[in-house]
Amino acid sequence: MFSFDPQPTWTYNDLLMSPSTNSIVSHKKVKLEHHNESIGLTLPMPLVTAPMQAIRNPEMYYTLWKDFGILPWIDRYTGILELEKIIQQLHPDQRYIAIAVSTKDEDFVPRIHAVKKLFPQKPIIVKVDVAHGASLRSINAINNIRKQFPNIIICSGNVCDADAAIAVAQAGANIVCVGIGGGSSCTTRMQTGIGKGNAHAVCEVAQALRQKERFHQVSICADGGFHVPGDLAKALALGADFCMSGRFFYTGNLYYGMASTRALSSVGKENRSPEGETIELPQRKLMEVFNYCREIEGALKSFLSYVGCESIADLHDNPPRFYQCSIAVVEEGRAR
């Protein structure tokens, strides 16, 4: 007999938050950084780029860190030589080198060594970049990376429920990546019927990990499903420590997922069933991306001020009240 959960799943568009009463927190007091002392991770901005071929851009990466503290994440389809070239073009003060890898030893070992060769003193963050983060192959990859590179910060592949999050944390992941099928170019839910509303998934994973003392220091990365800065705010309030987006950082007029036909064909995987699509978007200049990053920064500070919190840690200790709503309520008053 199949298992059925009658609880409806929900997205960021299904939620709004209530401001706190008598809040006196000003924007100037708000700090946006995520700090995880146990693994030596401090992100000045709770936002990172998705490791996607479609947004790979060293010039953008340099400024994202320099001006905003947004950590760029280099995709797994970047060849070793190009990976080394991009790393050398990153801002010199960037605290971490973040790369994505597949589950295969012959992929992650040379990629990690390439980073260590260029920057032996900088911490490395490695994302096992697979859609099913709790598969046996994914968990074995986390175990193998941990054994071969014990000091590396490991981010799991994507999960969307409590059991999967606990499994990857037990395997040795320092960061759990949450969200399956919610990206704007992702078709996993349509193609396979797999997934859960990303807001629901973040809430479930955060509650599961923080109920167990041994997992209190596992960071949670909410991945995808973001359309506007307010969605990032909701993810953080639901328990995420930081968020990952690709769509916010596109510049070219073609935006596509890592499981799309376009991305797969670039590395000779045309025969795989695609779970992503290519979207045509208006061309954007880098300055437009940076202006939007400034808007996001201001929006998140304003959000924390509304709910009376001076930091994300404070937010997690004092979460706001949520309301379930329709998209019509979220967009009430907007011209149509």
SS3 for 19? coil
| pLDDT classification of 336: cutoffs 50, 70, 90 | low
**Helix (H) or strand (E) segment spanning residue 116:** helix 105-118
Q: At 76, which CATH number?
A: 3.20.20.70
Q: What is the mean pLDDT of the chain?
A: 92
Alpha helices in 65-161, H assignment, sequence order: 80-89, 105-118, 136-148
Residue 247's domain comprises 23-319
Tell me the CA end-to-end span of the chain in Å, nearest whole number. Answer: 46
User: Is 155 inside a domain boundary?
Assistant: yes
- Asked if residue 172 is part of any domain, the answer here is yes
Residue 96 is assigned to a structural domain of this protein: yes
Q: What is the mean pLDDT of residues 87-111?
A: 95
Cα 270 from Cα 318, distance rounded (Å)? 48
Please indicate, yes or no, if residue 183 is contained in any of the structural domains.
Answer: yes
Q: Is residue 92 part of a domain?
A: yes
CB atoms within 10 A of CB 157: 28
Number of folded domains in the chain? 1
Asked if residue 14 belongs to a domain, the reply is no
State the Cα–Cα distance between residues 256 and 258, nearest whole angstrom. 7
Q: Is residue 1 part of a domain?
A: no
In a domain? residue 176: yes
Phi, then psi, of 284 in degrees rounded to 5 = -125, 140
Mean pLDDT of 94-117: 95
Assign 1 a pLDDT band (cuts: 50, 70, 90). low
Reported as a single tens digit per residue, the pLDDT across 258-285 is 777 777 777 767 657 777 778 888 889 9
pLDDT tens per residue, range 113-139: 999 999 999 999 999 999 899 999 999
